[in-house]
Structure 1
Amino acid sequence: MDTPCATEISIAIPAIQLAARISKHVLASANKGTIEKAEDLSPVTVADFAIQAYLTKVLSSSFPTDSFVGEESAAALRTNPDLLQRVYDVIHECIDEVSSSSNDNNESQVAIAEVVKRGAPESKEQVCELVDRCGDGGKDGLSADSGRTWVFDPIDGTATFVRGEQYAINVALLEGGKQILSVVACPLLSRKATAPLGNASVFKADDDEDGEEGCIVYAVRGFGAYVRPLFVGQGSGLTMCASESLKRHADGVTVSGLRSVSCWNLLGSGVDDAHKAATERLGVEFPGSDLLGWVPRWVALALGLANMTVWVYKRRDRYAKIWDHAGAMLLFEEVGGMITDVDGKDIDMTKGRKLSANFGFVAAPRSVHHVVLKAVRQTLKEQGKEALLTAA
């Protein structure tokens, strides 16, 4: 692929493939090491810590002057030696599996194995350092002169992940707070999936006649979005294979062609009745595709399984997290989508780990985004929620 980010893609794809192997290794275990974060009681697993440490190591080894932002911190690892040992072990086990299966006569596989090996932490203490390197990242914001920053969500949809349902691994590259590259792995989602898609809509390798398993969706700003299998053939080997360019399916869509993806009745942070009423006001079936994780929702929009989503928080002081959206939003933008907040403002990723300059999301084809935004705002007014349209 001849793009400005060809080198980054050639490293990020093997890295996210290994991250997906880590997730599947943990998913197959009876004890996923699930604990609750002290700050918000949300779940975090061995896979979350291991993937964040691994991605930080492999990408910092490849791009040493870049900075990193990620969801997790290592506080729980430093007080739980058994959990830390499991995190360290699963990274090395998965790297060793890839290294031992690489074919010395296949230059592509050897090159991939070399990339993968860069992510091996040298010690358990380094695991903590790697997690904290991006766990504390971005607190001062990502201004226009902040350079290049990688943003990770190691497991988006942890609550569904532990149930063996849809989840995603998000890797984004920002420069001066602007999205330039997105690489997302969906280990349980086929690139051939059809709508409506739900959390329990799991696609396995034996469901696909070509032996494909999962998918990777990626995009480069100004150069389109692409999809390829996560793994191909037996053994879930790490391979570089042909990618399919995604059509700009959101171009020229009319209101009658809108299809929704949302999260219905699963999260306490959003105004469910407003989401439903605004969508149905447009004559669109609700919820359509119904997914917990934000990154799988952006993927659904990129793949054409939906082309609109609306999210209004219950309070004006509730903000989205950068790792749930950075990069993944670019996937939809590169197929003709437009994304603003509920106030109609562009999404600003320069403020830090929270998107504190924005309130909620309205995403739709560029041709009808203004219609969807108007429907959302009118719905909130009619429901007596005008306070949500006024900045605190």
Structure 2
Amino acid sequence: MATTNTYDHELNVALLAVQRATLLTKSVFHSHTKGTLNKSDASPVTIGDFGAQALIIAALQLNFPDDEIVAEEEAKDLRENGQLRETVWDLVQKAKLSDSSAEKVLGGEVKSAESMLDIIDKGASQGGAKGRIWAIDPIDGTKGFLRGGQYAVCLALMVDGDVKVGVLGCPNLPVSDSEPLKEGIGADASDEEGKFGVLFSAVQGKGAQSRALSKSGLAESHDIKMKPLTNISEATFCESVEAGHSSQGDAAAIASKLGITKPSVRMDSQAKYGSIARGAGDLYLRLPVRKDYVEKIWDHAAGDLIVREAGGRTLKENKGVVAAPKDVHGKVIEAVREVLGEKE
């Protein structure tokens, strides 16, 4: 299907695909949260990862068959575990939006369990700086997912190495953009239509939006902007729950240098990017725990674009992540350099 440089079609497909996949992950949490495996990197993986990845890749393959895809999961475990395969297949078959026109865009059902495995394995691109490449993290923040906390279904399109479209499905964040960021946010999330979860999205050069998750077509979108921050000492900053993902000690030292006295809000996943992009929080710090740590593109591409299009800046071409409003970004970077420099 032909595309234009406006990326309208890409955005529509990405929003619908992420919405459908996010609803699948919600159904998994309610019925199958103990269906986990251990991957070689010791992180938990759930049947939700496999199902969400299958749904997203199926939609991309239908609409953009020549595009490459890099995704986190491979179907090896499903090929070797028949019971797990049938569980995922059953969930994928049931995962439908109630809007028929939306389902037509997405291509309806995956045809068979075997084709589902082949679809999952189509996310094996090695990436690169040329061409159109989609990056998928079917459940970013799997431990948050398992504990009923924050997680995100993440999808981004890169064209010649530049992120053009980004979408995050965050089912446990409140719909309202005005609700401040705090520990346990979304713990009382409802499954009632229009009262659960949010989709964040951005197209390069067109700003960032949020909308309520829906079980049918796409809900109305709202433009989002990072909150103006004149006094950095009053900032709310968020960081990873897992100490293995980010140096929490360094983050505390940086906050101290900036005069920030409020405790950090610890959250899993790219939900942090969405939260500061809409002004619920102010800063996101993800600081390397070791020199050889390499960030993965699917963990940041969508969230990075959403923050930039909401008026913020991120730490590009460096180790770690600093996301902050433009007016205070320099001060945060200065504090980061001071703290990390003291350790060298």
> What is the TM-score with the length of structure 1 in the denominator?
0.81
Give matches, 1:1-392, under 5 Å: 4-38=6-40, 40-95=41-96, 98=97, 102=98, 109-116=99-106, 118=107, 120-134=109-123, 136-138=124-126, 141-143=127-129, 146-192=130-176, 194-199=179-184, 201-205=186-190, 211-231=194-214, 237-250=215-228, 253-256=230-233, 258-264=235-241, 266-293=242-269, 295-340=270-315, 346-347=316-317, 358-382=318-342, 385-386=343-344
Q: Conserved in 1, the CA contact under 8 Å of 2:224 and 2:310?
A: yes
Partner Cα distance (1:308, 1:360) in 2: 13
Cα-Cα RMSD: 2.2
Partner Cα distance (2:50, 2:32) in 1: 17
Q: How many residues align?
A: 340
Partner Cα distance (1:155, 1:30) in 2: 15
Q: Conserved in 1, the CA contact under 8 Å of 2:33 and 2:146?
A: no
Q: Which moved more, 1:76-85 or 1:124-133?
A: 124-133
Give the 3 Å change call, closer, same or farther, for CA 247–310 of structure 1 in structure 2.
closer
Q: Conserved in 2, the CA contact under 8 Å of 1:298 and 1:329?
A: yes
Between the aligned residues of both structures, percent identity stands at 33
Secondary structure of 2:319's counterpart equals coil
Partner Cα distance (2:100, 2:186) in 1: 34
Q: Conserved in 2, the CA contact under 8 Å of 1:160 and 1:166?
A: yes
Give the 3 Å change call, closer, same or farther, for CA 273–288 of structure 1 in structure 2.
closer
Partner Cα distance (1:60, 1:35) in 2: 27
Give the 3 Å change call, closer, same or farther, for CA 283–22 of structure 1 in structure 2.
same
Partner Cα distance (2:216, 2:115) in 1: 25
Q: Conserved in 2, the CA contact under 8 Å of 1:22 and 1:47?
A: yes
C-alpha deviations, 1:169-203, integer Å up to 9, x for none?
11111111111111111111113162233356324
Partner Cα distance (1:243, 1:3) in 2: 21
Q: Which moved more, 1:274-283 or 1:190-199?
A: 190-199
Q: Conserved in 2, the CA contact under 8 Å of 1:185 and 1:216?
A: yes
Instruction: Using the TM superposition, give the Cα deviation of residue 204 of structure 1 relative to its aligned residue in structure 2, in angstroms.
Output: 2.3
Partner Cα distance (1:213, 1:200) in 2: 12
Secondary structure of 1:292's counterpart equals coil
Secondary structure of 1:41's counterpart equals coil
Give the 3 Å change call, closer, same or farther, for CA 199–125 of structure 1 in structure 2.
farther
Instruction: Using the TM superposition, give the Cα deviation of residue 18 of structure 1 relative to its aligned residue in structure 2, in angstroms.
Output: 1.1
Instruction: Using the TM superposition, give the Cα deviation of residue 63 of structure 1 relative to its aligned residue in structure 2, in angstroms.
Output: 0.8
Q: Conserved in 2, the CA contact under 8 Å of 1:203 and 1:214?
A: no
Q: Conserved in 2, the CA contact under 8 Å of 1:17 and 1:238?
A: no
Q: Conserved in 1, the CA contact under 8 Å of 2:226 and 2:282?
A: no
* Higher radius of gyration, 1 or 2: 1
Q: Conserved in 2, the CA contact under 8 Å of 1:263 and 1:290?
A: yes
Give the 3 Å change call, closer, same or farther, for CA 201–214 of structure 1 in structure 2.
closer
Instruction: Using the TM superposition, give the Cα deviation of residue 128 of structure 1 relative to its aligned residue in structure 2, in angstroms.
Output: 1.8
C-alpha deviations, 1:109-139, integer Å up to 9, x for none?
33112124x15322222222222211x222x
C-alpha deviations, 1:303-337, integer Å up to 9, x for none?
11222122222211011111110121111111211
Instruction: Using the TM superposition, give the Cα deviation of residue 256 of structure 1 relative to its aligned residue in structure 2, in angstroms.
Output: 4.1
Q: Conserved in 2, the CA contact under 8 Å of 1:3 and 1:223?
A: no
C-alpha deviations, 1:7-61, integer Å up to 9, x for none?
12222222122111211111111454211102x1100011101111110011111
Partner Cα distance (2:32, 2:112) in 1: 25
Instruction: Using the TM superposition, give the Cα deviation of residue 218 of structure 1 relative to its aligned residue in structure 2, in angstroms.
Output: 0.5
Partner Cα distance (1:8, 1:20) in 2: 18
Instruction: Using the TM superposition, give the Cα deviation of residue 254 of structure 1 relative to its aligned residue in structure 2, in angstroms.
Output: 4.8
Partner Cα distance (1:172, 1:271) in 2: 26
Instruction: Using the TM superposition, give the Cα deviation of residue 154 of structure 1 relative to its aligned residue in structure 2, in angstroms.
Output: 0.5
C-alpha deviations, 1:238-269, integer Å up to 9, x for none?
1223211113535x7453453211125x3224
Partner Cα distance (1:25, 1:94) in 2: 9
Partner Cα distance (1:130, 1:187) in 2: 24
Q: Conserved in 2, the CA contact under 8 Å of 1:262 and 1:287?
A: no
Partner Cα distance (2:261, 2:54) in 1: 41
